[in-house]
Every structure is written in C-alpha cells, then in structure tokens.
Structure 1
Amino acid sequence: MAELPDGRLDRMIDNGRTPAEGRLWLVGPPVNVGRSWSIIDLDENAVFDFVIDTAGLGSEPAVLYDPKLEPAELRYYPEGLLQAENCEVAAVEIRQVDLNAVLGVVDQVHKKILAAPGAPESLGGLWSNPDRFQPVERAELTVQAHLKTALSVPFPDCSVRTEQIDIPGRLDIEIVGPDLLNEHRIISYVVLELKILRSYRSGDRVTAVSPSETVTWVGDGVDQAYSYRLARGSLESALCCFDMRKTFSGRTCFDHVADKAASLDVRLEVWHLFASAKAYREHQVSEALRRT
C-alpha cells in the first residue's frame, strides 16, 4: 500500500450510524474499525486513480456507491478497481431482507470466488496445502470477510455485522436494518452461522479430522444458529457449511440434524470448496453427465 496521510479513524463503523458517503474506506475483517479519506471532490475517474495510484489498493475487492443516480447504484469489484471490467452492478432499492435473498448472495460468492483456488483471493486464500486438503487455520474468517463484502452490495441500507459476542457465544454474521413499516425501529433480519468442514487440520503435520468431530461441529452449528437468533431477536437463521473435505458429499452432512433443524426453524445449506480447479471441473462434468 502507498503512503497516505493519516485518515479519519472510526472504531464503530458497524453500528450503522457512521457517515460513509464521499470517502474511501479501508477496512478488514471483522469490519467494525476503519480508516477513511475524503474523495468527495473527485469525479469517477479521479476516484479510480486515487484508489489505484495514490492508495495502491487497485487489486483489493471494492464497492463503489453512487447516490447521484436514480435509483442510486452500487458496483462490486471482486478483483479490485484495476479489473474494472469485472463488475457487478446493483440498483439500491430499499427493501426488506429475507433469508432466501441472503443465501442467494452466499451462493453467488461461492460460484464466483470460493468454489476453487483459481478464483480471486485478495481477501486471503483458503488452502494452506491444497495437495493435502489442508485449509488455512482460520478459514471461517476468510469466508466471513468475502460474505460481508458481498452482502453490503444488495442490502446497502443494512448493517452487516460480524464477530459479535453475546451470551450464547460469538456469532458470525448478523444483518440488521430499518423496518420499512416503522422508520424508528431497527430489525435483526438474519443470523448466519458459518462452519468449515475439514478432512485434515492445518499445520506442518497432516492430522485427520474424525467423522465424529464433523458430526459434532454440524450439530453445534444448528444449536448456535438457533441460540443466536433468539439472543438477537432475529427473524431468521441458517447454518452455512463450507465443505473442504476430499469427497463431495452434498447435504448428507446434515442427515443427523435435519429433524432438529426443522423443529428449530434453522435453515441448512452447504457448499463444497474444491482444492483444485481440476477437481472443480471434474465435478461439473460429473454432474452434467448425471443429469443426462
């Protein structure tokens, strides 16, 4: 990163009350502290020049918000502003948040960024040793960072909060925002509990994770998603598993908790993360042949 003058430091930007427009923000996971610089006097091209040349952040994932358009617009650059042609555009429409919409964003992040190591990884890679199927030690935080960035695009009126400590423990992602029926009320819409399923632990030694440990992790995830929803007064909750094990097993990881999750109204979703682009391609071919 280039040398920048000291910017404004805000230590509670996840509270939804920190003015954000007209500034370049530099944040990291969890996004509750950030430093920013004024860009209010710059036009669109000058903003790109400032981020790429002055700040040296052209390869970092970026979100641009333009309130001058009607409707206002958000542009998400998963590979950074240097790759301006790789951009997702969303109109800013004030709308209620629901779990289906949130999980749709997670699904897109998986397809475009997380599914295989060939995807952009400027927020951090997920594999310490893909040949040995070893994830990085804190892979959950990397996934969480990607999701927080992506979820800010379709829900700009909401605050995407992470790593919050409550009585039941530390929750992964919570989405809160205004109630469209009562502008003076803030609602906790969705709580997401994230779990990484592993065949092997990270580290120099290749240590296997037993099937019983995975069963316990998934069971704990259901309990956490339910308890956090109650503690935060959220409308909906889901357990989101990212399966980095050697063998693609689909939803079978939920067989032992499906009934309990249904009783507790906890949604269960799983995405497989492949250790190589070759394995990802082979899976796609296998799925296509299976459907024919």
Structure 2
Amino acid sequence: MTSRSSDPWSDTAIESTLKNYLGVGLDADLPDDVRFLASVTQLIRKRIAKGEVSEDSPAIFLLHPHEPELPATRESSKVWMLDNGLRGVSGRMWFVNKTVSNGTAVHLSPMDEDSDLFQLAVDELDAGNVPAVVFDARTPAPEMRYYPDGLVASDNFRFVQVAGSTITLSDVFDVIDRLHLQQLCTPSVQQKAMTLWANPDKHHVSKHAEDLIQGVLRAGLTGQFPACTIKAEQAQASGRLDIEIEEASPFDRSQITRHVILELKVLRSFGSTGVKVSDTENEDWTRSGVKQAATYRDERGTRLAALCCFDMRTVHIGDSCFDNVRDLALRLQVELRSWHIFASSEAYRHAKVS
C-alpha cells in the first residue's frame, strides 16, 4: 500500500520536492501527492468538458496504484490510459498511480450512501489513509474535494477549483505568504534538505537559495492551482524565466491562458563563502528583475508579472528594497512584493515585535 501522504504544503511534501529538484534540475517530478492532485484535476476537467453528469454515485480517486483485495460483492476492472479522459469516471472508486495514467476501478452501487463509500475505502479496502479526491457530479455544479490525509480524516478536506477562473496576483501572493511562514522564514521551519543558509550566524547565504525557494513555490502553487501547469526555468531568447502559471482549456489543450510570470530574486549581504554583496549589487539585481519580468510577460503574452524578492540581508527593511525601482515597475506594470528570510527565530521575533 502507498504510505500515508500529506498536504502539498506539508513538511514532507516540500522536503520531497527539494530532494528531487536539487542537483537534477528543475524539471524533476513534484511530490507524488501533488502530482496526484494535479493529474486528477486535469482528468476531471476533461470529463466536465465532455458533459459527464451522474445522478447515482460520485467518483473517488485514491493514490493507491495496487489492485485492492475486494469483497465478493464488488467487481473491478483494470483501465489503461485513464488520463485521456475518454472513459466515464463516476460511479467508481479508482485506485490510481500518481499520474492517473492507469487505474483499477471498483464499481459502486447506486444504492450506496456516501457514508458507505467512505466505509468501503477505510474499513473494507484498508485504503483510508492515502490522499483522496472525491468528484461529485450530482450537485448543481460539479464539485471536487481533496482529502490530503485520506478519507479516514473525513473532516480534513478542501474544495478544489476545477472550472477555469481568473488567477490574480493577490491569489498568488496569498500562497507565497503561507509558504513563507510555513517553510521559509526562519531556519527552524526550513527542512534539512533545503538549507537556505551556508552559515546563518554570519548571514552567509547558500548558493542554492534561489533554486530551493523556486522548488518550494512550484510545489505550493501546484497544490493551490492544480488545474494549472506551474512551469519553471523556461528558456527563451531574452533569458530563462523563473516561474509561469498557465492553464490549458479542457476543451482544447492548444488553447492556453498564461496567467502570471514570477521573477524571483534573493537579496544578500554575504555570499556563501562570506564575500560581501554591496547595496549597489542588490539594487542592480532588483532593477534587472523588473525588466526581466516585463520582458518575459510581453514575449509570452502572459496577463500579469511580478518581481518577488526574498530578502536575506542582515537588516529587515521590508518593501524599501524596491525604492530604486518603483517608478520603473509602475511604468512597466510589474507588481513588487518582498518576503524577509531571517537567519534565526530570535531575529524573526524581534522584527515582529518591532
């Protein structure tokens, strides 16, 4: 059985992402539970586009790629290429892999109550503690619920937006705020696999800091916007963009809405070996970031662009780090936002009190 997994923003999920990213490039796979949620969402979007409606039973997806031992009263069928969206999914409990490319369908009875379905997964099939998605087309508008800790934790779920929607920079910043607080802001919340500091006592920043932060954001944004594709490190004529959020139409995958470009910069007082980084260098870095964000947005036809600075310098100055580029950013229509990463919990507490 697949081991218990957790939410896309959990310590385990983020640590897994960073282990995959570090050293093998930013095209490495996301954590299994994040890929599962995104893959199920894409499949459901295809089914909604084909008009799938069921008045009998929902579809339940479990991240459990092994065929279960079924009671005599249940029948199952093995399905390949499930992710192409050509097969109806309602009225079945699906045991699927992380890409939802293959699965085993356990057929549900129209007489089953919702409580019976939870009991089937938790008690009869011993699959209640793996990530699960419930898609319900019986409701006036089809809805999807994600259970990061499985159906055994039936109160711990969140609704997932499956229909196309307009993503705002405020939506994106809300996710980054949460990731910053839970995974980035101090060494105590950072995982051992993603040490942002070469030497926090001396404010020496790891040479991998940008890549590590990018990995955290990509995992978190995918978890929040599973209907979208979160692309990283895309090369083009003007350079290599950091993060782009795009969404393909479920009716026509060639029709793509490019929502947001994020340019990421880490501001330093010292490099990983202790070499001092001047204020002028950091100012040049932010100026370059504004220009990059605007250029990438215009080249790709993306709706919105933002420069996201993660300030790891010795002094916490907030959004004053953008004083030298505010006029430029306004003219180029690039949003500015900063997050400070502290070298110790004590420094974080002091900043909060101040």
Q: TM-score range by the shorter chain?
A: 0.7 to 0.9
Aligned partners of 1:75 and 1:153 also within 8 Å: no
Question: Residues 209-243 of structure 1: CA distance to partner in whole angstroms, max 9, x if unpaired?
Answer: 01111111010000110111112110000000000
- By how many angstroms is 1:116 displaced? 0.9
Q: What is residue 296 of structure 2 aligned with on the other side?
A: 228
Task: Write the deviation string for residues 241-292 of structure 1: whole angstroms up to 9, x where unpaired.
Answer: 0000000011111111100100100000001000001111111111xxxxxx
Contact 1:76 1:150 in 2 (8 A): no
Q: Does 1:91 align with 2:162?
A: no
Q: Taking structure 1 as reference, are residues 31 and 38 closer, same or farther at Cα in structure 2, changes over 3 Å only? A: farther
Structure 2 gaps of 5+ residues are 1-15, 33-63, 67-93, 97-120, 137-141
Secondary structure in structure 2 of the residue aligned to 1:137: coil
Do the aligned residues in 1 keep the contact of 2:146 with 2:160 (CA within 8 Å)? Answer: yes
Alpha-carbon spacing, 1:198–1:33, altered in 2? closer, same or farther (3 Å): closer
Does residue 138 in structure 1 map to residue 208 in structure 2?
Answer: yes
Distance 1:123 1:157, change over 3 A: farther
Q: What's 1:193 paired with?
A: 263
Residue from 32, 36, 56 that aligns with 2:27:
32
Instruction: Find the counterpart in structure 2 of residue 285 from structure 1.
Output: 353
1:239 match: 307
CA distance in 1 between counterparts of 2:198 and 2:156 reads 29
Q: Deviations over 1:45-95 (max 9, x none)?
A: 64857xxxxxxxxxxxxxx45144673233568xxx9xx99x984311122
Higher-strand-fraction structure: 1
- CA RMSD in angstroms comes to 3.1
The number of equivalent residue pairs is: 240
Residue pair 1:179, 1:186 contacting (<8 A) in 2 also = yes
Native 8 Å contact 2:268 2:312 kept in 1: yes
Superposed, 1:87-236 pairs within 5 Å as 89-93=157-161, 94=163, 95-121=165-191, 124-178=194-248, 185-203=255-273, 206-236=274-304
Q: 1:41 aligns with which of 82, 90, 95?
A: 95
Q: Verify: 1:266 aligned to 2:320, yes or no.
A: no
Given the superposition, is the C-alpha separation of residues 74 and 146 from structure 1 closer, same or farther in structure 2, using an over 3 Å criterion? farther
Amino acid of the structure 1 residue aligned with 2:220: A
Change (3 A) 1:139 1:120: closer
For structure 1, which segment, 125-134 or 114-123, has the greater mean C-alpha deviation from structure 2 after superposition? 114-123
User: How far apart are residue 198 of structure 1 and its match?
Assistant: 0.3
The partner residue of 1:257 within 292, 303, 325 is 325
- TM-score after normalising by structure 1: 0.73
Query: Considering only CA atoms, is the larger Rg found in Structure 1 or Structure 2?
Result: 2
Q: TM-score, normalised by structure 2?
A: 0.61
- Tell me, yes or no, if the aligned pair for 2:26 and 2:233 is still in contact at 8 Å: no
